[in-house]
């Protein structure tokens, strides 16, 4: 963002609050000093204050800006810790907490039908993956994306069920 601003001559940036500028205090401080050195004003919409001007002119305001940065970093760290603990609890309880649902979770009846079709009959040959896909498509089943099955889809899904 800063490189684009320097290219096109923008002299003012408005942000919601300093916590949106950077979540780490050292990055926030470096950015503020750099913006001030380039003559770019950073205005906080929350406080309606020209932050780059304030840190140069008023030592007390500079200290307050620094404290805001420290608390923004603390808040981010606490949030990350809380979310990590919640993911670990969920993973311990259900075995999974992230990513999209597997096809087995979305359509267990389709998996059961695939397995039934794939079983080798007592007399005869096992159906190919392509034949299973064709049978699923004619009975109204579709992939998680709503597309018709292919032999490769069926092979991958059945392999993952092992």
Give the separation between CA 99 and CA 77, rounded to whole angstroms: 23
Task: Describe the strand order of the beta sheet including 41-44 as a list of residue ranges.
Answer: 12-15, 41-44, 49-50
What pLDDT score was predicted for residue 101?
82
Task: Please list, in sequence order, all residues whose beta carbon lies within 8 angstroms of the beta carbon of residue 131, skipping any fewer than 6 positions away.
Answer: 117
39: left (phi over 0), alpha (psi -120 to 50) or beta: left
Mean pLDDT, rounded, for 126-143 = 93
Give the model confidence (pLDDT) of 17-36 as tens digits: 888 888 788 999 999 999 99
**pTM for this model (two decimals):** 0.57
What pLDDT score was predicted for residue 104?
83
Please say if the pLDDT value at position 16 is more than 80.
Answer: yes
Task: Please list, in sequence order, all residues whose beta carbon lies within 8 angstroms of the beta carbon of residue 124, skipping any fewer than 6 positions away.
Answer: none
């Amino acid at each position: 963002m800063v490189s684009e601003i320097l290219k096109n001559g923008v002299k003012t940036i408005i942000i919601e609050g300093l916590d949106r500028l950077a979540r780490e205090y050292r990055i926030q401080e470096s950015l503020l000093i750099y913006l001030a050195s380039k003559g770019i004003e950073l205005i906080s919409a929350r406080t309606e204050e020209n932050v780059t001007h304030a840190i140069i002119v008023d030592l007390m305001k500079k200290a307050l800006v620094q404290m805001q940065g420290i608390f923004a970093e603390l808040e981010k760290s606490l949030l990350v810790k809380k979310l990590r603990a919640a993911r670990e609890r969920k993973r311990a309880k259900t075995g999974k907490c992230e990513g999209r649902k597997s096809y087995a979770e979305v359509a267990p009846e389709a998996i059961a039908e695939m397995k039934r079709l794939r079983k080798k009959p007592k007399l005869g040959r096992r159906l190919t993956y392509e034949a299973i896909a064709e049978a699923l498509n004619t009975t109204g089943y579709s992939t998680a994306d709503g597309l018709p099955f292919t032999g490769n889809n069926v092979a991958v899904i059945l392999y993952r069920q092992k």
